[in-house]
Amino acid sequence: MTAPLPLLERYYTSRNLRRRLGHRHEGDFLELGAMNISDGPLPGGDDFQGDTLNGTYQSTASGNASAAAAISAGVVNGAILLDAGDANAGRSDLSWGLHYQAQLKPVYIARFSMSSLTTRKFEIGFTDVISGTDAGAVNVKASASGNGSWRADDAVVLCYDTDDDTNLTLMGVKNTSVATSADFDITLSAATYYYFGVALFGGEDDDALGFVLDANGALIEEQIIEAAITIDDLLTPWLFVQNRDGTAGSMTVDWHRAYQRRTSTL
């Protein structure tokens, strides 16, 4: 009789990776393929190749000439377009279901570019309602507290909104209690791809991390906020673009990925 497969090969889990590798950095990378990691919307992320957007997604648009997310034909590597149209407050968004919790340490990353950054708003992160429910997780980016007012009850997003300023800001709300936000120093450029990401720390820690990488994946900047979100509320990954006047605006998404642990006790 041949010897059985080693434990890691039989049961490819985070726990067995740690037994084999200890705290070596390779384990962090290899854990992404472990069977106790939930990965969506497609394993390894979605490059948006093909003729039709995957039916997993929910997308809603509002305003003249706006359009829900759709595959952009003939784009190298694949992409989708969220088109806010040409009306003031016109908008388009994308989500794919309330399947995530902060206690499971979810991460959402999207590589996208904005057609224009003047008179524009965009959000990326996690929120507690799916597409078609809220016209943005953040209602007013600046408020009396300076940390925003919200439509969502639980959410963490990177928010850019020229109705307020030209800062990219990491913002959070925990069961309607607004977290202290954090501005980035980066000056974003239109028609330029960046990787934008939000990571929720989970466990007893309700903090959140936001980060921006350049088009090639080099880290530009990151920020952390505290008391950011309820750890056991159901969340969805979230993308959103909105016009702040009657000038047309859109978001081109080249790739994105969300993943989290299957349990909070790894």
27 three-class SS: helix
Quick check: 235 and 87 in contact, CB under 8 A?
A: no
Quick check: 234 and 140 in contact, CB under 8 A?
A: no
Q: Domain check: are 117 and 5 in the same one?
A: no
Select from 186, 239, 195 the least CA-distant residue to 213: 195
Report yes or no on 55 lying in a domain. yes
Number of domains in the chain: 2
Q: Which domain holds residue 214?
A: 41-261
Chain segment 45-74, per-residue pLDDT in tens = 999 999 999 999 999 999 999 999 999 988
Count Cβ neighbours within 10 Å for each residue of 193-205 and write b for 16 or more, e otherwise. Answer: bbbbbbbbbbeee
Q: Domain check: are 22 and 64 in the same one?
A: no
Q: Domain check: are 5 and 46 in the same one?
A: no
The yes-or-no verdict on residue 22 having pLDDT over 80 is no
Report yes or no on 266 lying in a domain. no
pTM of full prediction above 0.85: yes
**Largest interatomic CA distance in the chain:** 73
Q: Domain check: are 29 and 100 in the same one?
A: no
Q: Domain check: are 225 and 119 in the same one?
A: yes
- Section 90-98 average pLDDT: 97
The yes-or-no verdict on residue 126 having pLDDT over 90 is yes
Q: Domain check: are 12 and 81 in the same one?
A: no
Chain segment 249-261, per-residue pLDDT in tens = 999 999 999 999 9
Quick check: 97 and 209 in contact, CB under 8 A?
A: no
Q: Domain check: are 130 and 178 in the same one?
A: yes
Q: Domain check: are 107 and 17 in the same one?
A: no
- Section 78-101 average pLDDT: 97
Q: Domain check: are 6 and 102 in the same one?
A: no
